[in-house]
A and B are shown apart, each in its own frame.
Chain A
Amino acid sequence: MVRYGMIIDLDRCVGCGACAVACKAENSVTSSTPEDYKKRRLMEWNRVITVFKGKYPNVSASIMPIICNHCENPPCVKVCPVDATYKTPYKSGEAAIYSAGEGEGVEGGLVLQRYERCIGCKYCMVACPYQQRFFNFYEQEEKDYHNPDVPRRITGIVEKCTFCVHRLKKAKAEGKKIGSPDGVEPACTEACPARTRTFGDMDDPESEVSKLLRSRRNYQLRADLGTNPQVYYLD
């Protein structure tokens, strides 16, 4: 059983946003314009937010990156009418129903999207408590498509973080190790200068992520909603 998870150490995070930009570069996510931004149509598979409490002089703030949590109990998978969003199986060899699309052969419980099946009903977008699903309002300009390893997305469908499944697929094909610190990682994990993130198999007790999960600082976002994210934060 393989369960890919990510640990984000908020004490290390320096609020630089390199993860967000690296993700956009790696996954050719459409860039926004000032008009898009005003219309709240920014596509950010990985975003960095700041939460404040209090005000000067008794003020504190916290900076945290938020990505798709690849929940174990994903509300988005539950509500998709065409099963376009699906969770890859934990056991290798088990296939997801019908074609596996982008995540073919990659296990680990990633929540992925079948771009060719999505009808654009946006039900998954309202279901996600982390607001991490994005709708393509526009046709992507040619200059925005950089990385040939990721599929182009067309207008009218929903997309989200894939834990850089194209990297994981390539690693599996080439027999490379997957997971921090010395294996293949998603772009955000690789990019972070503060080494905030760790990626790996949570079911492997020797992996870096499993070791970090022993920290008492760990928690999940909105655990009260029962989504059981596979992304953990260290306070």
Chain B
Amino acid sequence: MEYTKIEGKSIGYYGVILLFGILIAVGLFEFVKGMSIGQEDYGTSNIVPWGLPITAVVFFIGASAGALMLSSLTYVFGKEEYKPVSRISIYVAILLIIGALSTIEGELGRPERFINLMVFGATNLTSMFAVNAFLYSGYILLSVVYLWTTFREDLIRVTKILGASAAALAIFVHAGTGAIFGFIVAKELWFSPLLPVLFIIAALTSGVGLLILILTVTFRFTGHKMDEKLVVGLGKYLTAFLLIQLFFVFIENMVRTYGGLGGGEMTKFLFSGPYSFVFWVIQILFGTLVPIGILFARKTVLTVQIASLLAVIGVFAERFSLVIPGQSVPPVQVAGRAAMGFYGEPAIYSISGAEVAIILGVIGALGILYLVGLKVIKLLPSR
């Protein structure tokens, strides 16, 4: 298996880099503004303090974990047909986790104090954030070493071991992310042992989906030919993951319809509140059912691409409908009584330009890193 770099001299290449550069500028502008005058432009509030950036963080981590687990197909499970895309998957996984950390940084109230995470994190290991900080750092390190070993044909054994450990760590990483939410007693929609599992499944779905999209687009624009069998194979994996995801989402929410912590207000809000559109239409319908239908009907590169796009959007919607509606309803103080007005009404979170700007900035940075990586590292299969 031969890998190449891309030339990276065309106008298109520089044009896309410029575009991403603009996104970075926009993101940086909002970030610096937030640092100096506070997060007043965000759509978050004291009831919904976690908004779109956290959704994006969780999404990125999930996609990263999924992409990494996919690369382990080659080296750990020995499926040689996926070798062409193995390096790029690892690279994409590394980029995505870096993207997640950058988004967290952009979302912090005091970004300059993130050092405190390293210094004090070990003192409070009941905090999933702190645990995750160590997990993510280890994950990045491991993935980088893993990527490096794939360049060394002689270290194929090591690669296999690293691949396995990286995949295992990916599972822990994303289970850890799920545990951030799953361990919170206060939120009815979050407090569940199923959440880490759900997150892993969503990670796989979004990882595969995102990977399919990135790969097909990259191959197209760099003049390589995409192996249809490869894509269809990935599509089969995608179908499986979507089905499992549907199952878990169903279980999770079905139980809640029978009653829940605090009287089921949050479940009601999710199913029939202002964000029910996101839940039912985007996540369930277009994000899960439609892609499953497409993939069962026909598997071509195009249909797989479309299904992947829908699945990725669906997973993002799933993160959204977990994070936002999960916080919107103020927790019940006196069981069975409705708190009046401001203290009982659900808080409506609206997406603000500032938050979108931060995420776009991060995407811009990732895009540039990706393109530069393609040019500088031998990631693409030479065919």
Contact = CB atoms under 8 A, between A and B. Distances in A.
Contact of A81 (B40, B50, B110, B117): B117
Given A119-B113, A156-B110, A75 B186 contact: yes
A129 B40 contact: no
Interface in A48-95: 49-53, 62, 64, 66, 75, 77-84
A155 B338 contact: no
B45 A39 contact: yes
Nearest to A118: B110
Interface stretch (B122-130, B170-178, B292-300, B311-319): B122-130
B339 A51 contact: yes
Q: Secondary structure at chain B's binding surface: helix, strand, loop or mixed?
A: loop
A117 B113 contact: yes
B126 A119 contact: no
B72 to A, nearest CB: 29
A168 to B, nearest CB: 24
B48 A158 contact: no
A121 to B, nearest CB: 6
Interface in B109-146: 109-111, 113-114, 116-117, 119-121, 123-124, 126-130, 133
Interface size class of A (residues with CB under 8 A): 35 or more
Nearest to A76: B186
B37 interface: yes
A82 B116 contact: yes
Nearest to A222: B333
Contacts of B280: none
B342 interface: yes
A148 B364 CA distance: 45
Nearest to B49: A122
A167 interface: no
Contact of B39 (A43, A137, A222, A227): A137
B56 to A, nearest CB: 15
Given A52-B337, A64-B334, A82-B124, A131 B108 contact: no
A226 interface: yes
A117 B120 contact: yes
A97 B330 CA distance: 32
Contacts of A136: 38, 109
Q: Secondary structure at chain A's binding surface: helix, strand, loop or mixed?
A: loop
Contacts of A37: 342
B1 interface: no
A121 B48 contact: no
Nearest to B43: A39
A42 B342 contact: yes
Contacts of A154: 110
Nearest to A122: B49
A155 B38 contact: yes
Contacts of B37: 138-139, 155
Contacts of A49: 333, 339-340, 343-344
Nearest to A60: B337
B232 to A, nearest CB: 41
Contacts of B44: 122, 135, 137
B142 to A, nearest CB: 21
Q: Which of A81, A131, A221 has the most CB of B within 10 A?
A: A81
B336 interface: yes
Given A137-B40, A158-B109, A123 B46 contact: no
B234 to A, nearest CB: 35
Given A51-B340, A82-B120, A119 B108 contact: yes
Contacts of A80: 124, 127, 129
B87 interface: no
A98 B123 contact: yes
A139 B339 CA distance: 30
A81 to B, nearest CB: 3
Nearest to B347: A40
B333 A130 contact: yes
Contact of B337 (A53, A117, A123): A53
Contacts of A158: 109
Contact of A138 (B38, B113, B187, B347): B38
A127 interface: yes
A112 B338 CA distance: 30
Interface of B: 34-35, 37-40, 42-50, 104, 107-111, 113-114, 116-117, 119-121, 123-124, 126-130, 133, 180, 183-187, 261, 327, 330-334, 336-340, 342-344, 347
8 closest A-B pairs by CB: A120-B109, A156-B109, A155-B38, A81-B129, A51-B337, A40-B45, A129-B186, A122-B49
Given A37-B342, A79-B183, A126-B184, 6 more contacts: A83-B120, A120-B109, A125-B46, A127-B186, A157-B110, A222-B332
30 contacts: A43-B46, A49-B333, A51-B333, A52-B337, A52-B338, A52-B340, A79-B126, A80-B124, A81-B117, A81-B129, A82-B113, A82-B130, A83-B120, A83-B123, A83-B124, A84-B120, A117-B113, A121-B104, A121-B107, A121-B108, A122-B109, A123-B127, A125-B49, A126-B186, A131-B331, A135-B44, A155-B37, A156-B110, A158-B109, A221-B333
